[in-house]
A = this chain, B = another copy of it.
Amino acid sequence: MTAVLVIEDDDRIRLALQLALEEEGYAADGAATAEEGLRRQRESPADYVLVDLMLPGMNGFDCIRQLRRDDDVPVVVISARDDTHDIVAALEAGADDYVVKPVAIKELSARLRALRRRARTVAGPAPAQFFGDLEISAEAGEVRRSGQPVPVTRTEFRLLCELAEHAGRVLSRQQLLSRVWGYETGDERLVDVHVGRLRQKIEPDPANPRHLVTLRGLGYKLQR
């Protein structure tokens, strides 16, 4: 899901934007100051950043420059001022687009989509997580055991990614059903079956799993 960070000091506007974005299918997060926004973006980077120009403390222009320095995330300015000088300054600072408040959410959404078409993803090898000799790369859609690709199916892959994302923590069958399958209710045995199939593929000795372990009465977890 596409994540958007909204940096805007006016709580009402920020929350309204977040809500509207979520209705459009984005995952929206918010920050009230430039400093907080930068911290958020550093810690868990969103795919797009919306930023107001008039912020308490660090102003919007510096905020944009800072964002651009750290990261290549597309930045859209949301401002009440439609002065040419501001628009030029914001774009010059590194913003990708500039829309004037009040914003029509449909327009904003369309502009974000247009940006997505242009946004470059960083080159280089896709990042992977390691669990011993097990390698999971969500971006490459690939699982490897000691360097050798392991063919896994879509559901198995999603299941594995979900477990990897919460590495070391137990996930109940219920949680897995909900997160991987989207079932709020259903037969928990389904999880067992897929865990079993996955073990056949990724565990050296499927009967004595080393990474994908069962916690009786609780669920499953993936450990290093």
Q: Which of A88, A178, A219 has the most CB of B within 10 A?
A: A88
How far is A126 from B171 in the complex, measured between Cα atoms in Å? Answer: 12
Answer whether residue A140 sits at the interface, using C-beta atoms and an 8 A cutoff. yes
Q: Are B106 and A139 in contact (CB under 8 A)?
A: no
Interface residue range, chain A: 35 or more
Q: Are A110 and B125 in contact (CB under 8 A)?
A: no
How far is A139 from B88 in the complex, measured between Cα atoms in Å? Answer: 30
A103 to chain B, nearest CB (A): 10
How far is A219 from B70 in the complex, measured between Cα atoms in Å? Answer: 30
Task: Give the number of copies in the complex.
Answer: 2
Q: Interface code A73-97, partner B: CB below 8 Å = 1, 0 otherwise?
A: 0100000000010011001101111
Q: Are A141 and B170 in contact (CB under 8 A)?
A: yes
A215 to chain B, nearest CB (A): 4
Residue numbers of A with Cβ under 8 A of B are 74, 84, 87-88, 91-92, 94-97, 104, 106-107, 109-111, 113-121, 123, 125-126, 139-141, 153-155, 157, 165-166, 168-170, 178-179, 182, 184, 215-219, 221
